[in-house]
Structure 1
Amino acid sequence: MARRCDICGKGPMFGHTISHAHNVSRRVFYPNVHKVRVIENGKVVRKKVCTKCLKAGKVQKA
């Protein structure tokens, strides 16, 4: 399952976890993606949409 928003294209971002002793290791920040039933061209379709797009009203839920 691709962790990518079908509306805005937001995907995983990479960074570091840094401990108090400044030990650095790689980590991944995943977007908050939900499977939502969406109305698209008069039909109901399932899409993966990030919560930022849902809150902004970029999608009409079925």
Structure 2
Amino acid sequence: MSRVCELTGKGPMVGNNVSHANNKTKRRFLPNLNEVTLLSDALGRSFKLRISASALRSVDHRGGLDAFLAKACEDELSTKALKIKKDIEKAQATA
């Protein structure tokens, strides 16, 4: 399973461990990913997603999964999140 946020596209970054003697060795900074269940108001069901903690705060700040996906850029979303976004748009268009 890749270490990439399904909503924001955040992935691992690389950098250096720097010792007191200024020796540098490569290291990876991994995103803080959590498996969460988010509820869609438009569809009336829940979805299990693997998202970063910062994305979870953004979802809460924007007012839920529907509002977050409405503003989200499509190239950052995973295929699962893209399908959810299309379903939400379809449900809101018919309602």
| TM-score computed with the length of structure 2 as normaliser | 0.56
Counterpart in the other structure of 2:21: 21
Other structure's SS at 1:6 match: coil
RMSD: 1.6
Shift of 1:24: 0.6
Shift of 1:28: 0.2
Identity fraction in percent: 32
Which of the two has higher C-alpha Rg? Answer: 2
Which one has the bigger strand percentage? 1
Moved over 3 A (4+): none
Give structure 1 stretches of 5+ with no counterpart: none
The alignment of Structure 1 onto Structure 2 pairs a total of residues equal to 60
Which one has the bigger helix percentage? 2
| TM-score computed with the length of structure 1 as normaliser | 0.82
Give structure 2 stretches of 5+ with no counterpart: 66-95
